[in-house]
Amino acid sequence: MGADTLTDLRSAKPLLDTLNGAKLPVPPIWLMRQAGRYLPEYRALRETKGGFLELATDPQAAAEITLQPIRRFAMDGAILFSDILMVPWALGQDLRFETGEGPRLSPALVDHALDALEAAPARLDAVYETVRRVKPQLPRETTFLGFAGSPWTVATYMVAGQGSRDQGETRRLAYRDPAAFGAIIEAIAATTVAYLSRQIEAGVEAVQLFDSWAGSLSPGQFDRWVIAPTARIVADLKARHPHVPVIGFPKGAGGKLSAYARQTGIDAIGLDETVDPAWAHAVLPAGLPVQGNLDPLALIAGGDALDRAVDRILDAFVERPHIFNLGHGILPDTPIAHVERLLARVRGE
């Protein structure tokens, strides 16, 4: 790739270009959960609108929240404000968010059959309307990211009815009755393809699959319940939208990252904060874009500790397409000044 091409790419959409394989002198940056509770403007809006689900299903409010970190920080990517549990909600489970306790889904599929649910795909219409509202308000250089949860992680909530420390109920079901559990995975995957396709048609330019609990599985179960369904989703999306990049984020995958990268068909891989970036560069396919992987607590610490952590990541990926991000979501008590320092460090300002 010539210097003129690199210049052209940098003047267009740095994040999208990196996902397509461009290695830019200054990596683009966005942060997982960048639209959320650490921002005073988000907290103020939430006070007027109510709970999380009320915000996520109000296209005007969700669009405003999506845009807040773009206005404040000029992030290279805007991530749709929504939640990975919109898919179970569309599959027919009731969804509510308990203050201080997290999401609840009912009926829990550990005690009920999947066919007891009545699908309600219209519940997702507000998400598509949010995308349509955000798209014309984004700066020309900002890449619009959609997302969904990966089947394994979504299934852990659907089976247990809530989050858990070790996903034990879901892992037991997968061993005890793989046919029944496979039906749940298939239903999630099919709905996810349709959901992401509609996001793309509404205006997002790339999508991310969040597999937040991928690290809880043994290697054989990881192959069956993470790699295989992710590969099916990516293949189906590519058949519909061949030019839309897909980022895979298998949190906690560790030594299974290389297999995930090679076997799923993803266009870029997100790394959590436990991954040594130098090791990842050595074992991942040459040229595969990587995203990550600053520890969210290093961002809270700030100062020299933050600078050293940022520099270590930048140095490790200097020879590879790289999107700077956190290893997981930004935490609510993150100081705004530390985010500003991070951006300045990454951008060399």
Query: Is the Cα dihedral 67, 69, 74, 76 positive or negative?
Result: negative
Give 325's strand partners: 293
Is residue 195 part of the annotated active site? The answer reads no
Alpha carbons within 13 angstroms on the beta-carbon side of residue 300 total 11
Is residue 157 part of the annotated active site? The answer reads yes
In one-letter notation, the amino acid at residue 203 is G
Is residue 111 part of the annotated active site? The answer reads no
Rounded to 10°, the helix 151-160/168-176 angle is 100
List the catalytic residue out of 33, 133, 171, 320.
33
Is residue 83 part of the annotated active site? The answer reads yes
Residues 6+ apart with CB under 8 A from 174: 181, 221, 224, 225
CA distance 290 to 325: 10
Is residue 260 part of the annotated active site? The answer reads no
Phi, psi of 210 (to 5 degrees): -95, 115
List the catalytic residue out of 157, 171, 267, 272.
157
User: What are the distances in angstroms from CA 147 to CA 8, 11, 121, 197, 331?
Assistant: 27, 25, 17, 10, 19
CA distance 27 to 10: 10
CA distance 173 to 183: 12
Nearest to 163 by CA among 121, 218, 119, 105: 105
List the catalytic residue out of 17, 76, 83, 267.
83
In one-letter notation, the amino acid at residue 232 is R
CB count in 10 Å sphere of residue 40: 11
CA distance 11 to 248: 26
CA distance 246 to 207: 5
CA distance 105 to 95: 5
CA distance 186 to 191: 9
Q: What's the DSSP call for residue 266?
A: -
Q: How far is CA 29 from the centre of its chain?
A: 14
Active site residues: 33, 37, 46, 83, 157
